[in-house]
Structure 1
């Protein structure tokens, strides 16, 4: 096992650009499938940094591995190591910190504008970002802000887009890890789930418009998060 762990929950929510950033920096990492029981027997006192990726399930689903992963995250939080959660991963962090996760009355999908909320106390997690920017979204659940956490980001359709808890935990509702191939894969396989008559959702054509430029900007957003996460871990 390596010093960097990445928890995944389905084959089509991989580390994507996060993996590329780690490879380019020369950092070895281990990818685990929490939904397949691969957290069992893992030495949770070893890793120096952990990322938690997305998935189509809800943290409120009656799946036995969810309780196992939440307990693992609570152990890692007590160890005070850097943690970064993406979509379902952010919701799992919220649950581990005692917050509620609820179904939204609509799905938020596509390239959505986010607004910073940290003007009164600027967060180092957002130091690389302007006051507003765009992140790829695809979710129907939303987390509440845990007690003691700092709300960081909001969108027109989801007021709780990110929070920081302490100085080492970042939970994100969106998908900064996306690369061009993954966006195209999701839209090829799951476009039938979209309903662009809802104002909170974009059409497939809207999501694909100027995709290389949108991905390049998203990569810059993600890389700022990942640089800070690695810096906190001393890596």
Structure 2
């Protein structure tokens, strides 16, 4: 009896590996929160990998297992001599080398500027930004996502920086010039706080009331009034911006005006 030979089954194609869903979140106080940004990323389906290097948490040597990373703010200065601050500034080279989506918020933006070789310093007249302030978005800022860049934002800082060499200015301020910038394909520095919620405003103002007395600070009632007037626009922009950023989508390029094309990007 002849034995029928069955043809060998074709090997099944390997399933494409799923894109990493974790987002590294770096915080600097035990009570710190990623606020609105954390809530939005969770709503997009991302897991937050929260670490506090100040209290001994290690930072990963690679972001291969992460979709991106965000360094948030804190009351300390990048000019402090603490070892963990130096290590965190140096670590920013990881997302830059790997071209992973990265955001620095307030202190995180100052760390990014310092990593790029720029000085971070106090205002020459000792002024601060604490509360809601107007900023002037550039055309590049408006093209980060489909929502226009907000022109009133919440601030809480006493130091600032100039635009790092080779970076693209996204928004400028009055007392502190560089309010937002992009470097490389997907690294963003934001001097202001798009993550802030109303409970966070209450908590910050209660714990550091002396900041409200510094030159240039807004009185507390204007913080609450500013939240009522401006937070909806900031929230809508934050959602559109974060969705595009975490997908690694590059910003659109400004259209040429006549014979001249904008060469900032």
* Among 69, 90, 94, the residue aligned to 1:50: 69
Q: Does 1:146 align with 2:167?
A: no
- Find the aligned partners of 2:234 and 2:132 in 1 and give their Cα distance: 10
* Among 77, 84, 98, the residue aligned to 1:79: 98
* Among 106, 122, 132, the residue aligned to 1:111: 132
What is the deviation of 1:75?
1.9
Q: Does 1:231 align with 2:247?
A: yes
Partner of 2:181: 163
- Find the aligned partners of 2:25 and 2:141 in 1 and give their Cα distance: 27
Partner of 1:7: 26
Unaligned runs of 5+ in 1: none
Q: Does 1:188 align with 2:188?
A: no
Q: Contact conserved, 1:15 with 1:177, CA < 8 A, in 2? A: yes
Residues 99-153 of structure 1: CA deviation (Å, up to 9, x unaligned): 1111122111111111112x3x5664254215x6111001011022221101111
- Find the aligned partners of 1:154 and 1:174 in 2 and give their Cα distance: 11
- Find the aligned partners of 2:177 and 2:32 in 1 and give their Cα distance: 24
- Find the aligned partners of 2:176 and 2:226 in 1 and give their Cα distance: 24
- Find the aligned partners of 2:185 and 2:146 in 1 and give their Cα distance: 14
Moved more, 59-68 or 97-106: 97-106
Aligned residues: 228
Q: Contact conserved, 2:26 with 2:52, CA < 8 A, in 1? A: yes
What is the deviation of 1:210?
5.9
Q: Contact conserved, 1:164 with 1:171, CA < 8 A, in 2? A: yes
Q: CA distance change for structure 1 residues 48 and 11 in 2, over 3 Å: closer, same or farther?
A: same
What is the deviation of 1:192?
3.1
- Find the aligned partners of 1:210 and 1:58 in 2 and give their Cα distance: 26
Q: Contact conserved, 2:21 with 2:45, CA < 8 A, in 1? A: no
* Among 77, 82, 88, the residue aligned to 2:107: 88
Q: Contact conserved, 1:48 with 1:233, CA < 8 A, in 2? A: no
Instruction: Indicate the SS of the match to 1:99.
Output: coil
What is the deviation of 1:193?
2.4
What is the deviation of 1:34?
1.8
Q: CA distance change for structure 1 residues 155 and 126 in 2, over 3 Å: closer, same or farther?
A: farther
Instruction: Indicate the SS of the match to 1:161.
Output: strand
* Among 65, 89, 101, the residue aligned to 1:70: 89
Q: CA distance change for structure 1 residues 53 and 233 in 2, over 3 Å: closer, same or farther?
A: farther
Q: CA distance change for structure 1 residues 122 and 29 in 2, over 3 Å: closer, same or farther?
A: closer
Runs of 4 or more consecutive aligned structure 1 residues displaced over 6 Å after TM superposition: none
Q: Does 1:222 align with 2:241?
A: no
Higher alpha-carbon Rg: 2
* Two-structure CA RMSD over aligned residues (Å): 2.2
Q: CA distance change for structure 1 residues 77 and 186 in 2, over 3 Å: closer, same or farther?
A: same
Q: Does 1:202 align with 2:202?
A: no
Q: Contact conserved, 2:61 with 2:94, CA < 8 A, in 1? A: no
- Find the aligned partners of 2:145 and 2:99 in 1 and give their Cα distance: 20
